[in-house]
Structure 1
Amino acid sequence: MDKITITKHLRLEFLGHIFKSREEYGLVVFGFYSILFFGIGFLIGISLNTVFKSFKTTKKISANPFLIGLWGMFLGAYISSDYLYLTRKAHIVVDRIILFGLVFLGFHILSNIIGDLISLYVKSRTQEVPSSILKASIVIFISTVGLFIAFQSIGLSISPLITTLGVGTVVIGLALQDTLSNFLSGFYILVSKNIRVGDYIKFDVYEGYVEDIYWRTTHIRTLSGNVIVVPNSKLTSSVITNYHLPYENMAVVFSFSVGYKEDLDRVEKLLIEIAKDIVSKVDGADKTYEPIVRYGSFGASGINLSLVVKVKEFVNQYLIIHELIKAIKKRFDQENIEIPYQTINVMIKNES
């Protein structure tokens, strides 16, 4: 069914009795169907979101009801534009503008949905939370393809456009070096997977969970709840410790010393007993790992040692160290085991 056939079915005869002039009648029909199709598109957008959210696997997918309604408005305007009382040349211009918007907006809407679908696929395959830059790259690529097709659909050759864009890209690249550097750095972070959404990282004087990676910046949430916004180029040029790679679980080395007079075998046995008890009680402790004690050196006032346990991830170490300090202090007091501390002897010389 072509546009002419569709247009014949759109005639609102009763409006002809209200608006006597052809110009007014055509404008009203054009406006009526534009608004009608906008409403239909808006309702379709809301319905799609309802359907997506009703399934666990697709609840992260979202459609923009306003954009779908806008696409519907372009559709209604395109199929009813023949009712506008315009010259032939004006009709051609109006139809081309509407068709351009119809094609480009359609691709843009699809790019957002495809971006969400690919993000879901990546998450299901890798069990990792995909970053925002992945969807942003997909949206930019598909929207750019849609832009070229939109130009082609209205009879404009895209070859000169590509040439112009090539020259323009060089000029824009020189003017926006920092922005492009951050975008490429973000893409590198995405591809290399050295930093992922949800990882706990430390660089310079900052540390925290990677909340999201955007096309220009990376957001890092600190343990205090604040968000640090870091340019992507700074991340790729910094030395970073990722506490979730290669595994999330990590060793916690708790170091202190005991007095020289203590029985080291007895101390080692007590510490392993205490550590096993704490590990069994504390959430976040790696219960599959056997605690170990290693003596390291002879210190100034005691024998230095390290108690090693494992936790499931970086932040769990704080609670287990807290509990270990309390338990070791209490047990050592009961067993009369000395934890030496530094003392200072002050000698006052009497010159009289």
Structure 2
Amino acid sequence: MSDIMQSWWQAISNWAAGTTVTWVDLLVSLIILAAAAAVAFAFSRLFSRLLLRVARFSAGDLDDTIIAAGRGPVTAFIILIGAYLAITVPLTLAPAVHDVANKVASLAAIFIGAYMINAIGSAVLRWLEEHLESRDAANTGGWALPLARRGMVIVVFAMSAMVSLDILGINISPLIAGLGIGGLAIALALQPTLSNLFAGTYVITEGVVNEGDYIEMENGVTGYVVDVSWRSTRLRTWTNNLVVIPNSRFAETIITNYDQPQEHVNVFLTCGVAYESDLQHVEAVSMDVMRQVEREHPGVVKDYGVYFGYDTFGENNVDFWLFMQASSRLASFEVRTALIKQLHARLIDEGITINYPVRTLHFPDGWTPDGQPPTREQAARSRRPSTPPQPQGPLPADTPGGGGDGPDV
């Protein structure tokens, strides 16, 4: 780089020592510079304001943002063109000095262009951030868009620097190869971090999880979403503890969101009555209880309605279910509690029985209810055949087998 600067200075010095520039040439250069400054001032103060006024007639304000962001870079371009023309048109430059002027103008144009791209891109991303926040997507505007703005600045100016080096005649092929190898090494080293970053971006832009939602993960972790950052998602559990989940695992698991697609939660309650019960009467009582809860409890969605149905013949009862909707997940617990209490009290008042589960156990001979095997005496007693009682004294003569001398042989 120092050799290039020295060669430039040497070329300018040699030209200045042997130049034949007159005051007319200098006057023309000053006129061109003044004209460029006037055009730049007119664009910055007058034409850009006119564009802004015209843009206000459009539906959105994005065009206003783009015009305001591009005003400064365009003004700098006008001044740069004027300066280049003021040097190259009226003055008779040596080929080496003309080459220096071309390279300096190219470098300035590259960095002004990079500044323009960065200014307009940052303004557009900032506009998106503001509008996403107004639509309750604060997480997306909270960290993803600022991170994109910083990344855009690095990429744009890095590319500008490499193009500038190429213009100066510096071979950038080794630099690109080194950056490629270094980028691969950095990507491998930051693989978990990058995985969490892209997973977090996917979770937020998907829009299925927002701050304040109550979710349940596949592994049983439940809680309210406190924050979704670039690396992790934070949940607050029922015990008021904080659970930090890496976004890479959060994006791959199955999630149940109790606040989506809407906040209403269905309340499904099962019960059963004895087989001797009048099922028509049971249905009427259950519907009456649900309508009473619907009228009295503020957490019930009254437009949804109440529903009843028999399910199956159970082991001890005829099973049925009751179905209604609560306005939120917290209200569903209150609605379920009120429904159980009122249904239980009403079934008792109506004399309808809810059977308890009953089991009859049969044990082998000698086995005890505690599951212990029989002792030897108990086993022998259970296997010993019972003998009929023996009569006392001789049997009567008319009894078969009794008395006499037995049959003749």
Q: Which of the residues 346, 354, 362 maps onto 1:331? A: 346
Aligned residues: 244
Query: What's the offset of the Cα at 1:238?
Result: 1.1
Residue in structure 1 matched with residue 276 of structure 2 by the alignment: 261
Q: How does 1:302-341 map to 2 (within 5 A)?
A: 302-341=317-356
CA distance in 2, matches of 1:217, 1:140: 15
Q: Which of the residues 233, 237, 255 maps onto 1:240? A: 255
Query: What's the offset of the Cα at 1:343?
Result: 2.0
Residue in structure 1 matched with residue 132 of structure 2 by the alignment: 122
CA distance in 2, matches of 1:199, 1:162: 46
Residue in structure 2 matched with residue 138 of structure 1 by the alignment: 145
Query: What's the offset of the Cα at 1:202?
Result: 1.2
Residue segments in structure 1 that go unaligned for 5+ positions in a row:
1-103
Contact 1:148 1:158 in 2 (8 A): no
2:134 aligned partner, one-letter code: S
Contact 1:151 1:157 in 2 (8 A): no
1:178 aligns with 2:192: yes
Contact 2:132 2:141 in 1 (8 A): no
User: In angstroms, what is the RMSD of aligned CA positions?
Assistant: 3.6
**Secondary structure class of the residue paired with 1:269:** helix
Q: Which of the residues 202, 215, 228 maps onto 1:201? A: 215
- In our comparison, the structure showing a higher alpha carbon Rg is 2
Q: Which of the residues 202, 205, 212 maps onto 1:188? A: 202
1:204-261 Cα deviation digits (max 9, x unpaired)? 1111222221101011122332221111111111122222332221321101111112
Residue in structure 2 matched with residue 215 of structure 1 by the alignment: 230
Contact 1:152 1:158 in 2 (8 A): no
Query: What's the offset of the Cα at 1:181?
Result: 0.6
1:281 aligns with 2:322: no
Q: How does 1:40-59 map to 2 (within 5 A)?
A: none
CA distance in 1, matches of 2:297, 2:180: 60
Query: Percent identity among equivalent residues?
Result: 28
Q: How does 1:28-47 map to 2 (within 5 A)?
A: none
**Secondary structure class of the residue paired with 1:256:** strand
Residue in structure 1 matched with residue 49 of structure 2 by the alignment: none
1:1-25 Cα deviation digits (max 9, x unpaired)? xxxxxxxxxxxxxxxxxxxxxxxxx
CA distance in 2, matches of 1:306, 1:323: 15
CA distance in 2, matches of 1:119, 1:165: 31
CA distance in 1, matches of 2:156, 2:251: 36
1:251 aligns with 2:266: yes
2:287 aligned partner, one-letter code: I
Contact 2:299 2:326 in 1 (8 A): yes
CA distance in 2, matches of 1:199, 1:158: 51
Query: What's the offset of the Cα at 1:193?
Result: 1.9
CA distance in 2, matches of 1:287, 1:137: 41
CA distance in 2, matches of 1:115, 1:222: 34
1:189 aligned partner, one-letter code: V
Residue segments in structure 2 that go unaligned for 5+ positions in a row:
1-114, 167-171, 367-377, 382-409
Residue in structure 2 matched with residue 93 of structure 1 by the alignment: none
1:102-161 Cα deviation digits (max 9, x unpaired)? xx9xx9xx97x9988644422433xx3422x54322222222344567789999958868
Contact 2:130 2:141 in 1 (8 A): no
2:138 aligned partner, one-letter code: P
Contact 1:286 1:311 in 2 (8 A): yes
TM-score by length of 2: 0.52
CA distance in 2, matches of 1:150, 1:246: 43
1:193 aligned partner, one-letter code: G
In structure 2, relative to structure 1, the CA distance for the partners of 1:116 and 1:321 (3 Å cut) is farther
In structure 2, relative to structure 1, the CA distance for the partners of 1:196 and 1:267 (3 Å cut) is same
In structure 2, relative to structure 1, the CA distance for the partners of 1:264 and 1:155 (3 Å cut) is closer
TM-score by length of 1: 0.59
CA distance in 1, matches of 2:222, 2:351: 40
Contact 1:268 1:293 in 2 (8 A): yes
In structure 2, relative to structure 1, the CA distance for the partners of 1:196 and 1:318 (3 Å cut) is same
Contact 1:129 1:198 in 2 (8 A): no
In structure 2, relative to structure 1, the CA distance for the partners of 1:149 and 1:292 (3 Å cut) is closer
Contact 2:304 2:324 in 1 (8 A): yes
In structure 2, relative to structure 1, the CA distance for the partners of 1:172 and 1:281 (3 Å cut) is farther
Query: What's the offset of the Cα at 1:300?
Result: 0.7
1:140 aligned partner, one-letter code: L
